[in-house]
Amino acid sequence: MSTLLVWKEQLQKIYARYSIYIMKALQFVLGLCVFGLINSNIGFMKAASSILCTVGLSVICAFLPLVVMVIAATALVLVHFYALSMPIALVSAIIFLIMYIFYFRFTPKKAWLVLLTPVAFALKVPFVIPVAFGLLSAPICVLPAAFGTIVYYMIHFVKMSSSAYKGDDAKSLVEGLMAFTKQSLTNKEMWVMVAALSVSLLIVYAVRTRSVDHAWKIASASGAVTAILIGAAGKIALNVHLSYGPMALSGVAAIAVGLILEFLFFSVNYSRTERMQFEDDEYYYYVKAVPKIGVSAPEMSVKHINERKEQTDSQETVLIDSRNVKQAAEVRRQPQQKKRPVPKPRNQVRKVDHARAADEILLTRSLTKELGLENLEDELNK
């Protein structure tokens, strides 16, 4: 378990560092799945169903908001429907318009749910959607999940009955249009699956928000079981074409996804749960504190294999440094040579200050008189 927690911490660090690139890559993969499924199921227009078109739309939509991908997928579906039959494209456009009016009014930021729901149906795991988004989001996700279910069944109807919509005469066109409208609005299987996904999502959200221990596990299991029971009840009561095997596998996949999401987003230790009570002048507060499970990633320790070589290198550097120090000390000990005085040029004429010389002569004579040395100088001269 500790190893998984370490991996979780490392994944969080990687996502925090490269979140922009990861989201763009996931958006590109989602575009490939959405546009690829549309072109493979209803590729009536050859130019729009090519691989180049699929990859090109995925690359363009990867750098734009997800709402643009929803609009591009809708336009691609309408183009294929128009290549099959213009009345079918017209009725589909009206249905898309009604759905998107409610979608843009209530859930404009849940575009990925509208795209993921048909992909989950195509992969035969539709019950993953209510469990995953009931754990991570709010009850408002019921609307985009229902819209995605309706879109999937519209594409499925056209795929299964495409040969009936290719008539050239007016009678066949009217019959095909009436059949498509009836299937799109009164199909029992579609509405059973809409009810299963909606009720399952609400139950998952209701159980997940309770303060019971292991709420996420109970919510995942209850949501998957609820969706299976609604599907089975619809099969028995309304005689819809739903198989028990795929529904059971979808429920198991939903529980597995719920456990993975709990590990990634809600890892707590229920054995250390604490219950506290507070009060003020107006209320009593009952608090249940459940600590999170967190394990710090171990730090990498590097062991040097060539340790002996590094020691010899360090000794050589120490010897070189000691030699440099000795040389510097010897240089300092050597006596400094005295600078020789610069000889004056012989031809230079010395300037004599006559006023200063006269003052020195007068000063000398006055001192001689005061000291009585005049007679001594006369005697010496004789």
Distance of alpha carbon 217 from alpha carbon 135, whole angstroms: 10
Residues in CB range of 164: below 8 A, 6 or more apart: 172, 175, 176, 179
* Tens-level pLDDT at each residue, the chain (382 residues): 677 777 777 888 888 888 899 999 999 999 999 999 998 888 888 888 889 999 999 999 999 988 889 889 999 999 998 888 888 888 888 888 888 887 777 777 777 788 899 999 989 999 999 999 999 988 888 988 998 899 898 888 888 877 766 655 666 667 767 777 777 778 888 999 999 999 999 999 999 998 888 899 999 999 999 999 999 999 898 888 888 999 999 999 999 999 999 888 887 877 788 888 888 888 888 888 888 876 665 555 556 565 555 555 555 555 555 555 556 555 555 555 544 555 545 444 444 455 555 555 555 565 556 555 555 455 545 4
pTM beyond cutoff 0.85? no
Residue 178, strand partner residues? none
User: In the chain, where are the structural domains located?
Assistant: 2-272
Rounded to the nearest angstrom, the gap between the alpha carbon of residue 257 and the centroid of all alpha carbons in its chain is 20
d(CA 272, CA 270) in angstroms, rounded, equals 5
Which amino acid is located at 166 in the chain? K
CA-based angle 63:65:70, to the nearest 5?
110
For residues 154 and 184, the answer to whether their CB atoms sit within 8 Å is yes
Beta bridge partners of 303: none
Distance (Å, whole) CA 118 – CA 209: 27
